[in-house]
Chain A
Amino acid sequence: MPNFNYTRLEVARKRSGFTKTKLAEAAGISTRSLTKFEREGFQPGEATVARLAKALKFPMAFFFGETLEEPSPKGSSFRAFTHATARQKDEALSSGALAMALGTWVENRFSLPAPNVPTYQGLGPEVAAEAVREFWGLGQRPIRNVVHLLEAHGVRVFSLPELGKEVDGFSVWQGETPFVFLNTAKSAERSRMDAAHELGHLVLHAHGGPQGRVAEDEANEFGAALLMPEPTVLAEVPYGATYKQIIKAKKRWKVSALNLTKRCHGLGLLTDWQYRSICIELTKRGKENEPQPMKERETSQVLDKVFRALKAEGMTKAEVAKELAIPVDELNGSIFGLLSLQAIEGEASEESEGGVSDQDAEARRRTMRIVP
């Protein structure tokens, strides 16, 4: 039997949101023992591993795999950094580790686009966004699909299982490969901006740089400039645009009304007073109630093609999860909201044959709806 991998215990514990004390209680062992098991050199017995696996709802095989690559907290960028708790960050990072394991599994079986993301540390966000557009040959046109754009240039995009509004997403360079993790429970417009924001971190902060609020502001500015290039906004949005004009114009760039309002204010198209007035109108609706929202959210083309190909070969997500020795819910979490409706429905019906009830499948279809 292979050796117990203590690093995987910590990943599973953090992913499940347990403190050491709580997990020890749930598994019926002492906290002291658990602390030892998370260190190198201590091997729990098979019965203890079984109790830990049951408490964490992970397959036993998971704890005997190779050490997982984990996103480094130092190299990761958290959205809304100041609002996320340490536990939420741990959950997000461990979720990222599991997604990266899925990424490696996929990459061993499929040829994915080579990373082609430029880094422009030291450039201002607006100039860097313009440079990325130039580097990728986008011109000034609105971006059709940000997730596809990232994937086409070698960024591995995964979903974060819902961790609350405090964590919008994060990104990390793992060696030469850029990863972006998105909280796909947000509106379609906000997800686009989140993806552009994370690209900003990858481009601007690949080798360190500012931290915290400053870094977030830079990434916000980059995301806004990438999605709403200055020349086209100045050309197409009138000075002093009204609330109604903002609602109409936001469709041009597939952004939220609030983001376009901020951009117009930043570019001098709205006075402070006009900006405040429109923001007040928008906040009356609530953050989750985007006016005239996009009809479809962006999905992953890479993951969609991968899971369609696997399905054609007769391989279900449950089988993929088994090969990775992770719970199928974890696999679903990494791709939640990133698969097309057809892929989800096909997979859901297959899973119902493999042990997931029709009721569960129906519930998942409801929660994975395409139209927000």
Chain B
Amino acid sequence: MTNLHPLPSTSPLHVQAQTQSRLAALGLTDELLQNALRFAYSESERCSGNDVSSAAGYAKWGKPLRFLRDHLLPEGWLRGGLPRLESVVSPDGSFRITSATGNFATGDLAWMPATAGLKGRLALEAIGDNGQGALDIAGESREVVAPMITYYLLHHLDLEKEQIRSELSIPTHMTIRPKAKKGRIDEFKNRLILNSIDFGIETDVEDGSEADFSDDLDIPVPRRATSE
């Protein structure tokens, strides 16, 4: 079966209210994932016309993982080192998180999203096995027998709404382009929809109103009764 276009999602498995507790069960928070994306999009925004052509896209793909590794490795998470399926792996090796940009349906339970770019063999294996893949830890040779789930941190920059929408979801289907031997992942399950990030400058930092500051001090300076 091939899904050339995003399909309406008829049975979203989780609603927003459940997201936090599901994330917590994975040892994650909405805030951590959002900050990873803020970091990545900020890095991407800094790329100029003089950067190499793929620099901005590379930042959007790679920097969320860098951020997550920075914050999670000290807590016992592992660096998943498959070259074309870079990830961060949970401490017990039961799941890994990788990153991808998604299409407009990302972060919207009314629609089924798809990855914006084409994915290759390893992504397909991850979907196919979805729990049976070998764990390749960088610098270590270690076989993991237990099934491992692959989550995608899927994110999409919506310029019209000035927001970044994202979700942490398990891919279940990829439509292959026969000649390219690559394809877009176009079905996901267990979709954990994250809060959208408004990236308009005006919304990032509130202007301080006078009421927000420390008290206006009135210092008494009375004249002494007698001088000198």
Measured CB to CB, the residues of A under 8 A from B are: 108-113, 138-139, 141-145, 148-149, 151-152, 236-242, 244-245, 248-249, 251-253, 271, 274, 277, 301-302, 305-306, 309
Contact = CB atoms under 8 A, between A and B. Distances in A.
A108 B202 CA distance: 51
Contacts of B223: 109-111, 309
B39 interface: yes
A311 to B, nearest CB: 13
A145 B221 contact: no
B38 A238 contact: yes
A111 B221 contact: yes
A144 B215 contact: yes
Given A110-B224, A245-B204, 13 more contacts: A109-B228, A111-B220, A141-B212, A149-B214, A152-B219, A238-B205, A239-B35, A240-B39, A242-B45, A244-B201, A251-B207, A252-B206, A302-B221
Residues of B in contact with A, size category? 20 to 34
A238 B204 contact: yes
14 contacts: A108-B227, A110-B224, A111-B221, A112-B221, A113-B219, A143-B214, A236-B205, A238-B42, A241-B204, A242-B46, A248-B202, A252-B206, A271-B43, A302-B221
A241 B199 CA distance: 11
Contacts of A237: 204-205
A244 B35 CA distance: 19
B222 interface: yes
A103 to B, nearest CB: 13
B49 interface: no
B140 interface: no
B171 to A, nearest CB: 27
Contact of B38 (A110, A145, A239): A239
A245 B205 contact: yes
A145 B201 contact: no
Contacts of A151: 217, 219
A106 to B, nearest CB: 9
Nearest to A133: B214
B202 to A, nearest CB: 8
Interface of B: 35, 38-39, 41-43, 45-46, 67, 201-202, 204-208, 210, 212-224, 227-228
A239 B219 contact: no
Nearest to B225: A111
Nearest to B67: A239
A309 B220 CA distance: 12
B56 to A, nearest CB: 14
A309 B221 CA distance: 9
Nearest to B45: A242
Given A238-B42, A251-B208, A141 B213 contact: yes
Nearest to B211: A141
Contacts of A305: 219, 221
Contacts of A309: 221, 223
Most buried by A among B39, B43, B67, B208: B208
A251 B41 CA distance: 24
B46 A110 contact: no
A141 B84 CA distance: 47
Nearest to A301: B219
Nearest to A246: B205
A19 B48 CA distance: 56
A111 B213 contact: no
Most buried by B among A112, A238, A253: A238
Contact of A252 (B201, B202, B205, B218): B205
Contacts of A239: 35, 38-39, 42, 67
B219 A148 contact: yes
B91 to A, nearest CB: 23
Nearest to A278: B46
A280 B219 CA distance: 41
B99 to A, nearest CB: 16
A241 B214 CA distance: 25
Contacts of B41: 240
Nearest to A144: B213
Nearest to A245: B204
A108 B42 CA distance: 58
A142 to B, nearest CB: 5
Contacts of A302: 219, 221
Nearest to A271: B43
A184 B42 CA distance: 37
Contacts of A152: 217, 219
CB-based closest 3 A-B pairs:
A240-B42, A144-B213, A305-B221
B208 A252 contact: yes
Contacts of B224: 108-111
Contact of B205 (A139, A149, A248): A248
Contacts of A271: 43
A187 to B, nearest CB: 18
A152 B35 CA distance: 40
A248 B217 contact: no
Nearest to A110: B221
A240 B38 contact: yes
A306 B227 CA distance: 13
